[in-house]
Amino acid sequence: MGEQQLSLAAVRDALVREEDSIVFALIERARLPRNSPAYAPAAAAGGRSLAEFFFREAEAGHYQKPEDVPFFPQDLPSPVFPTTGYTKVLHSFASAVSMNDAIWKMYFNELIPLFTVDGDDGNYAETVALDFACLKALSRRVHIGKYVAEVKFKDAPQDYSPLIRAKDTSALMNLLTFKAVEEKVKKRVEKKARIFGQNVTLEENAGKHEGISGDSECKVNPEVLSKLYDQWVMPLTKDVEVEYLLRRLD
Amino acid sequence: MGEQQLSLAAVRDALVREEDSIVFALIERARLPRNSPAYAPAAAAGGRSLAEFFFREAEAGHYQKPEDVPFFPQDLPSPVFPTTGYTKVLHSFASAVSMNDAIWKMYFNELIPLFTVDGDDGNYAETVALDFACLKALSRRVHIGKYVAEVKFKDAPQDYSPLIRAKDTSALMNLLTFKAVEEKVKKRVEKKARIFGQNVTLEENAGKHEGISGDSECKVNPEVLSKLYDQWVMPLTKDVEVEYLLRRLD
């Protein structure tokens, strides 16, 4: 996001649009079964898993924007193509704020079993490429929290500054929490999973309300999206916001 | 696809499922403007465009299945991870049948202007990564034609063999063409673009039939999908089928 776009409305639009990407990516990943060998250490890759190997390869040169945070920053080569230089709207420490370790663990340990069927069809390279798309979209969504924090701080520095100076993490968290909004977000991602994950046919969906399939026919269970946002995505986004704010006056 | 799955129903399911991937990929690409500098030759990449550079890098190790056809086969390194060995259901020459040059030209010259807005926001790396997803899905869809041809040949060798021996391309093309089915496919991808590309909100879509937005609100114009399938995807798939069949008796 560039300077001209830094408004709460623009940040909210980015968050809403990212929901679509997350739902699309999960639906695509759900095409394949669990394929757990892709996540086990492999001798051919120096003891790394195929997932880790793929990420380290694929991350090269993809991280130019503050919301694009690498999973393996220590291995990033210099980009071959020059970046066009984003207007700096965030503080310089923003790049140090990363929840990717937590996102990585959550995705592989908690989320994958919830939306893939158990099984192994041998398509490991495809599997980790689809995981990559899911993790990138989730990571982008969570790290947009840096913009959320910056916008909210600029809007009301008098509310945030004393809490930042007092390092009052829980008061900051309270200030950033809007239960009613969070409930709406959960309902919306659930609805998106229901609409985007339906099997579209040319027949009229007789007896189905507004063309929306029953949850059991959806490619990813809509409740998984609601849970993903409730338990992980929104809390991690707020962790990003608090971590950013705590250093905002440095 | 493995041997146990090689039936016309399974191949059709794969084609229908690929439609979703294509629509998702185009919707995702449409987030960004045209970004044409990503497609211009760049000195930093030895005169290649960023798109070509990215593809050559990204293709390494991703091509294990017959429907996954590389765009730059000459540059493919050996995969680091062993393939699990697909049951060979296609003839050995199948890997030589590739429409990727035509798909590449169609995508960059014809399709991109139809579904991206003119403009340049500097996000070239992200742009070509999204192009990669579109092209991979399109290529996979077109090359599933190899399975279509194999299944149809096995179903009725007596119909195909004389035409193959006579190298009667146009009679083969006629035998593979079902206008009514093609019309249904066009309508279905158009409907998918309408459903998957809508802006989902929690409000009931008053006055809109079955929750489907007007075309102007869709992230990718549904007519673009219909045209894409009509003018390029289905003809190229049939080209794959004919090319495969012409060598089926070798």
Q: Model ipTM? A: 0.81
- CA triplet B27, A100, A114: central angle to 5 degrees? 65
Considering chain B, what is the average pLDDT of its residues? 82
- Scored b (16 or more CB within 10 A) or e, A5-37 reads ebeeeebeebbbebbbbbbbbbbbbbbbebbbe
Residues with Cβ within 8 Å of A196's Cβ and at least 6 positions away in sequence, in order, are A20, A23, A24, A27, B24, B195, B196
Residue numbers in A near B205 (CB within 8 A):
210
Nearest CB to B24 within list A24, A191, A211 = A24
Question: What is the C-alpha end-to-end distance of chain A, expressed in Å?
Answer: 23
Q: A-B interface: how many C-beta pairs under 8 angstroms?
A: 104
Residue B207's pLDDT is what?
41
Whole-angstrom CA distances from B95 to A176, B67, B79, B91, B223 are: 55, 9, 17, 9, 33
Report the alpha-carbon distance of residue A82 to residue B123 in Å, rounded. 11
pLDDT band at B60 (very low <50, low <70, confident <90, very high): low
Using one digit for the tens of pLDDT, what is the confidence trace for A103-136? 999 999 999 999 998 888 877 777 888 888 898 8
CA distance A118 to chain B (A): 18
**Residue B241: is its pLDDT beyond 90?**
yes
Cβ pair B17:A31 closer than 8 A: yes
- In B117-136, the residues whose Cβ lies within 8 Å of chain A are 122-126, 129, 133
**Whether A77 contacts A13, CB under 8 Å:** no
Q: Does B14 touch chain A (CB under 8 A)?
A: no
User: Can you give the pLDDT at residue B224?
Assistant: 94
Q: How many CB atoms lie within 10 A of CB B220?
A: 24
Residue B46 has which token pair? 């030895």
Torsion sign (Cα): B144, B147, B152, B155: negative
Cα(B136)–Cα(A85) distance, integer angstroms: 29
Residues of chain A with pLDDT under 70: 1-6, 44-45, 58-66, 74-87, 204-213
Nearest partner of B242 among B182, B185, B168, B183, judged by Cα: B168
Summarize pLDDT for B175-213 with one digit per residue, the tens. 999 999 999 999 999 999 999 999 898 886 544 444 455
pTM of the shown model: 0.84
Nearest 10 degrees: CA dihedral of B176, B179, B185, B191? 170
pLDDT in tens, B124-162: 777 888 888 898 889 989 998 998 899 899 989 999 999
Residue reference for tokens 């929750």: B211
> From CA A132, how far away is CA A59, in angstroms rounded?
9
Residue A130's pLDDT is what? 84
CATH superfamily for domain B3-246: Chorismate mutase, AroQ class superfamily, eukaryotic (1.10.590.10)
Q: Which residues on chain B are in Cβ contact (under 8 Å) with A119?
A: none
Mutate to test the interface with B, among A23, A24, A31 (most CBs of B within 10 A): A24
Cβ distance A57 to B53 less than 8 Å, yes or no, reads: no
Instruction: Report which DSSP code applies to A203.
Output: S
Instruction: Look at chain A and count its residues.
Output: 250
Distance CA B191, CA A89 (A): 40
Q: What is the pLDDT of residue B212?
A: 54
Per-domain residue ranges of chain A: 3-246
By C-alpha distance, which of A184, A169, A168, A158 is closest to A238?
A: A169
A82 CA: distance to closest CA in chain B (Å): 9
What pLDDT sits at residue A208? 46
